[in-house]
Structure 1
Amino acid sequence: MDTIPKDNFIEFNTNTLEFIRKQYDLETPERIEEAINLLEDWIKKQPHFMKKDFSRDYLERTIIISKGSVERAKIKLDRLCTFRTIYPEFFEVHDVRTLKTINDLQGVFLPKMTSDHYRIYLAKNKAKCFEKGLHDFYRYFFMQCEYIQAHDYCNGVVVILDFRDANVMETLKVLNVTDMRNALDVMKDGYGMRINGLHFLTDSKAMDAIVNVFKQVFSAKVAGRLLTHTSLDTLYQYVPKDLLPKEYGGKEKSFTEIQDNFLVELASKEFTAYLNEMSKAYTNQDLRRDNDGYDLGLQGSFRTLSVD
């Protein structure tokens, strides 16, 4: 792509494309085209891929998310397709407006990115109890990840989890470590979202129990980026205030307005058709050349285009 296409929801910095490509040594059109060609050729050689016709823009974003490395992009794409096979419940195509859990546990990627090209994800837990667990939220979140994969161009994500209106003990009851770890694997290894910071907003003394659950599923590196804030003032030290919704002291629209706008995009005919098409991007594990049940996708010729 020559420029990042204008999007109905998310926005970019004026230098995002050039900055991110340059940091991965992909600033010339020839370099990015070479990388896409290598990834495209490799996909065609994978008998276990049930979908092989990914758009070149999609493949470019996959390479960018993979820090400019075709080798990593192969692993990421193989894992995401494999996750669709082994965790089908996470990827069912729904009208997002029918997922009841999102009335209590809401989340949205904010429109503007930070100056260093990170996207902010803000989730609000307002639930007093969870009758059906968290599966609807996972489905909702992965729909959002699909949108980001298809439209964004960023360095990673800063996550803010607002628990100030939640019943923390009721939330703790539904935090299944296995489900969380599976969902985290999809987020990190499938969608390739690099977490630059994880911030909890709460004044509950019971929050330490929630934090300990999260530490069980994150790597030590990410766990070291996990911070708890009892006020917005300390959050502003890590997240640009102006980028936040107005009720968080920022200059953006309200959280509800931002989420409603995002829901319009996620429920559109165009995006639903895209989700249905991407649902074909799964694997047939029996057709893997090395049928070990979970191959990392490193067969075939490839060239690493950047030092990771």
Structure 2
Amino acid sequence: MEKLQDDRMLEFRSDTLEAVRRDVNLHMPGRMDEAIDILEKWVQMQPHFVKKDFSRDYLERTLITAKGLVERAKERLDKLCTFRTLMPEFFAVSDVKKEFSPLQSMVSTAHLPKLTPEHYRVYMFKMVSDVDFSSSIVFKLYRYLTMLCEYFKRVEYCSGFVIILDYSDANILNVVTKMSPIELRQMITLMTEGYGLRIKGIHVVTESKMIDAVLSLLKQVFSTKLVNRIYSHKTIEGVKELVPKSILPIDYGGKEKSLKELNNDWLEAISSKDFLEYYTMMNRAKTNESCRQADQFNENYLGMPGSFRALSVD
């Protein structure tokens, strides 16, 4: 791609394209195109890929999430297509607003429009109410996050994500007990190994003494590297020091729209006709496991976390 253009939800800094490419060592003239060419040819050679017409921009973003490593980018593509086959329940959404309306009274969640000076995207999650919080609500949230990940694969361009989880108004124990470690681990695997989100830090805000229960759950599902990037804060003030005021929502002392307004904007974005058509198209990017060599599947996926159902290959 020649340049980045601001999306309806995401903005970029003037030097983001160059800085992010430099971060993954694909900034020299011709290097990115060369890597995309290799990845594009590899896709065409995969007999188990149902969809092979990925755009070059899509492949470039895959390379960015893979830190510029072509072999890792191949693995990302293969895993994401496989996850759509093995875990269709994470991707299935019919009426978006109807599906996610129960979430709106309980959580406000949004990726902030502006990037940090380091070209990181900040994701904020605030538990507004946990009165009716249930395991079914948790899974709706996972499907919502899956759609956001697909949105990013279409337009995002950043060096990583900073995640802020604000539980200051919630009964954190009530939340934790409704979360299945298996489903949470599947979701984290989908986000990090499928979509390739590069998480730079996870900041949990709560004064509750039950924070240890949250950290214990996260340690069960995160890699050691991610566990070492989890930080707890008793108040939001500690997090404010990490993010420029111009980026934060107004209700967090910043200059951006309120988190609730941003939450509503994101719901409108992923329920738009244009995005739903794109999401439906990308959901066809699955695998035909009868065309994959059995040893490749065993090596790459049988050890994946979670309770993936066995495939019946004719």
Given the two structures, how large is their TM-score scaled by the length of structure 2?
0.90
Q: How does 1:124-273 map to 2 (within 5 A)?
A: 124-126=126-128, 127-131=130-134, 132-273=136-277
Residues 162, 200 of structure 1: 8 Å contact kept = yes
Deviations 1:165-217 (A, max 9, x none): 22222112211111111100001000101110100111212222112111111
Q: 2:124 aligns to what SS in structure 1?
A: strand
Match of 2:44 in 1: 44
Letter in 2 for 1:275: Y
Partner Cα separation in structure 1 for residue 2 and residue 298 of structure 2? 36
Does structure 2 retain, via aligned residues, the 8 Å contact 1:47–1:289?
A: no
Is the CA contact (8 Å cut-off) linking 2:103 and 2:137 kept in structure 1?
Answer: no
Q: Which string of whole-angstrom CA distances, capped at 9 and with x for unpartnered residues, describes residues 263-291 of structure 1?
A: 22111110000000001001112211344
**Counterpart-to-counterpart distance in 2, 1:286 and 1:137:** 32
Cα distance, 1:239 vs structure 2: 2.7
The answer to whether the 8 Å contact 1:112/1:243 transfers is yes
The structure showing larger relative contact order (alpha-carbon pairs under 8 Å, at least 6 residues apart) is: 1
Change (3 A) 1:184 1:294: farther
- Name the residue aligned to 1:116: 118
Residue 99 of structure 2 corresponds to residue 95 of structure 1: no
Partner of 1:80: 80
Q: How far apart are the structure 2 equivalents of 1:215 and 1:106?
A: 24
Q: What is the identity, as a one-letter code, of the residue corresponding to 1:129?
A: D
Q: Is the 8 A contact 2:168 2:235 kept in 1?
A: no
Residues in 2 aligned to 1:130 and 1:256: alpha-carbon distance in whole angstroms: 18
How many Å separate the matches in 1 of 2:230 and 2:285? 33
Q: Percent identity?
A: 43
Q: Do 2:163 and 2:199's aligned partners in 1 also have CA atoms closer than 8 Å?
A: yes
Quickly say closer, same or farther: Cα 1:61–1:294, change in 2 above 3 A.
farther
User: Could you say what secondary structure the match of 2:30 adopts?
Assistant: helix
Q: Distance in 2 between matches of 1:223 and 1:239?
A: 21
CA distance in 2, matches of 1:262, 1:144: 9
Distance 2:174 2:113 in 1: 31
For residue 159 of structure 1, give the secondary structure of its aligned residue in structure 2: strand
Contact 2:5–2:12 (8 Å) recurs in 1? no
How far residue 241 of structure 1 moved from its aligned partner, in angstroms, is 3.3
The farther-off stretch of 18-27 and 94-103 is: 94-103
Letter in 1 for 2:262: I
Alignment of 1:50-65 (within 5 A): 50-65=50-65
Q: Is the 8 A contact 1:93 1:275 kept in 2?
A: no
Q: Counterpart of 1:117 in structure 2: which amino acid?
A: H
Structure 1 distance, partners of 2:18, 2:109, is 29
CA distance in 2, matches of 1:41, 1:92: 30
Counterpart code for 1:188:
T
Q: Which moved more, 1:99-108 or 1:52-61?
A: 99-108
- The C-alpha deviation readout for 1:205-253, integer Å capped at 9, x for no partner, is 2222112111111112211111111112211233333311011111111
With the length of structure 1 as denominator, give the TM-score of the two structures.
Answer: 0.92
Distance 2:177 2:141 in 1: 16
CA distances 1:133-172 after superposition (whole Å, capped 9, x unpaired): 4110000011011111110101110000111122222112
**Cα distance 1:129–1:209, how it changes in 2: closer, same or farther (>3 A)?**
farther
What does residue 8 of structure 1 align with? Answer: 8
Q: Show the counterpart of 1:302.
A: none
CA drift of 1:296 comes to 4.6
The total of aligned residue pairs comes to 297
DSSP 3-state at the match of 1:134: helix
Tell whether 2:22 aligns with 1:22.
yes
**Residue 281 (structure 1) aligns with:** 285
